Amino acid sequence: MKRYADLKCLSSILWLFLILFSVQMASAGTYQHGTVVRMRMSECLPAHHGFMLAMSGSGPQGPEICPEYTLVSDKVVYVIVGKASNQLVPLADVIDFRFQNSELVVRVDDAKHESKFGIKEMILRSDWDLIQKHIQQGLALPAPGDDGSPAVPSPAAERLSPFQLH
């Protein structure tokens, strides 16, 4: 009888640990993977509590500069902005990220520390790839007049047109 009670107590403890572990994993969120392909410094996103800062009289003296990253995942491309100038993420590295309260939480190299970023823009990966392709094609073609030649064809070029019938 005592052995049955000990087994039941042990079973209850194991179930409790299993439930606590699953709740912890659910609250942590599922990480997605992406690659940072671009970084530039830009103005920080406005703070949600800007009214309180304005009323206290200790508002910012000038625009604060924060890092802005382009993060490419499998399906979506995000432009994210750090909340402070010291939030740096390495370029060309695969990073883990998840969503939390309309922010993107980034973990780099299995670190225990996570950094929160504001989401500035989002675009579907297929649309972003198409835009990048058009940009590359536009850079590859010289614009008329870029090489010093006139934008209007010369009369000699008109005479040598392959579409004229002789």
Neighbours of 35 (CB within 10 A): 13
Report the alpha-carbon distance of residue 134 to residue 6 in Å, rounded.
70
Q: What is the pLDDT of residue 68?
A: 92
Neighbours of 95 (CB within 10 A): 21
Report the alpha-carbon distance of residue 128 to residue 77 in Å, rounded.
7
Answer yes or no: is pLDDT of 119 > 50. Answer: yes
- The single-letter DSSP state of residue 111 is -
Confidence grade of residue 162 (pLDDT, cut at 50, 70, 90): very low
Mean pLDDT taken over the chain: 74
Using alpha carbons, select from 28, 140, 114, 132 the residue that is nearest to residue 70: 132
Mean pLDDT value across residues 108-116: 79
Q: What is the pTM of this model?
A: 0.60
Mean pLDDT value across residues 81-103: 86
Answer yes or no: is pLDDT of 76 > 90. Answer: yes
Mean pLDDT value across residues 86-102: 87
* Token couple for 144: 């008329």
Per the CB < 8 A criterion, the answer to whether 82 and 119 are in contact is no
**Percent of the chain whose pLDDT exceeds 90:** 29
Report the alpha-carbon distance of residue 57 to residue 77 in Å, rounded.
38
* Token couple for 25: 């994993």
